[in-house]
């Protein structure tokens, strides 16, 4: 199952992201010149799921947001608010 399953998962997500009109969204936002491949996102999602990461920041723009979001994510999103 291992590598065949991994290859299928990645191929499946690549297909989904490639067909969600990501290029159109990038064009509409004026980002088509700096857009990175959709495969970067799907590969990061698969890797994140396997490693148990709640968040992934796969491309350059996401990495810029990560540092600003990290404190909020750790203290609110990922926090166990039921702990005393």
- Interval 19-55: pLDDT, tens: 555 556 666 677 777 778 778 888 888 999 999 888 8
Q: Is 71 exposed, middle or buried (0-12, 13-18, 19+ CB in 10 A)?
A: exposed
pLDDT, position 54: 81
Cβ-based burial of 28 (10 A; exposed 0-12, middle 13-18, buried ≥19)? exposed
1 pLDDT higher than 80: no
d(CA 14, CA 68): 28
The domain locations on the chain are: 2-56
Q: Which residue has the tokens 């600003």?
A: 68
Q: Which two tokens stand for residue 57?
A: 């920041």
């Amino acid at each position: 199952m291992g590598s065949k399953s991994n290859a299928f998962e990645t191929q499946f997500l690549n297909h989904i992201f490639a067909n969600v009109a990501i290029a159109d969204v990038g064009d509409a936002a004026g980002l088509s010149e700096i857009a990175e491949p959709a495969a970067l996102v799907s590969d990061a999602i698969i890797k994140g799921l396997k490693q148990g990461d709640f968040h992934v920041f796969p491309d350059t723009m996401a990495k810029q947001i990560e540092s600003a979001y990290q404190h909020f994510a750790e203290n609110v999103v990922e926090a166990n608010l039921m702990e005393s």
